[in-house]
């Protein structure tokens, strides 16, 4: 019995380590840079602001260069004031140059994907729409809120 205990060798234990790492990238910054302004509107006459107009709505996204983002909108169906003023036929365009002439899209709750500029990390959005006052539309100022939501996709 004593020989058996002396002759048995203990199993050798092994261990290894690795390091867990992560790099947190630049958070997104979203700025509304220009309101969508229809100006004066006459009863019974629809008025459209195109994305290329100086009064189009504008947003600026800033984030990690070259990253993909998902953009969704919450859009009013009416402007409110001395009553309701229907708004619709939304149009949009986005690009990396802060000038019109980019990728056309329809602003909606459905996601639109875009890639932030590889150098600056910026993306610029332009939106337009049409208001359609009735012939009996009450005079006065009307307003509504356009909300853009942007998140990284992880790509």
pLDDT of residue 11: 76
**pLDDT for residue 146 is more than 60:** yes
3-state helix, strand, coil in the chain (%, to 5): 5, 40, 55
pTM of the shown model: 0.85
Mean pLDDT of the chain: 92
Cβ-proximal residues to 47 (8 Å cutoff; 6+ apart), any chain: 38, 39, 41, 130, 131
pLDDT in tens, 2-31: 545 555 556 788 999 999 999 898 899 999
Name which residue leads in pLDDT, 109 or 120.
120
Opening angle at CA 119, ends 115 and 121, nearest 5:
50
pLDDT in tens, 98-108: 887 899 999 99
CB 73 within 8 A of CB 125: no
CA gap 36, 16 in Å, rounded: 60
pLDDT of residue 79: 98
């Amino acid at each position: 019995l004593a020989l058996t205990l002396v002759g048995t060798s203990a199993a050798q234990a092994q261990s290894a380590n690795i390091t867990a790492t992560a790099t947190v990238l630049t958070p997104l910054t979203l700025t509304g840079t220009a309101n969508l302004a229809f100006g004066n509107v006459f009863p019974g006459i629809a008025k459209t602001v195109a994305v290329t107009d100086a009064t189009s709505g504008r947003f600026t996204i800033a984030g990690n260069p070259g990253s993909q983002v998902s953009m969704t909108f919450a859009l009013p169906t009416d402007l409110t004031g001395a009553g309701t003023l229907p708004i619709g036929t939304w149009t949009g365009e986005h690009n990396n140059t802060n000038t019109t002439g980019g990728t056309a899209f329809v602003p909606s709750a459905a996601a639109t994907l875009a890639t932030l500029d590889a150098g600056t990390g910026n993306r610029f959005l332009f939106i337009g729409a049409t208001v359609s006052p009735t012939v009996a539309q009450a005079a006065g100022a009307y307003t509504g809120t356009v909300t853009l939501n942007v998140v990284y996709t992880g790509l």
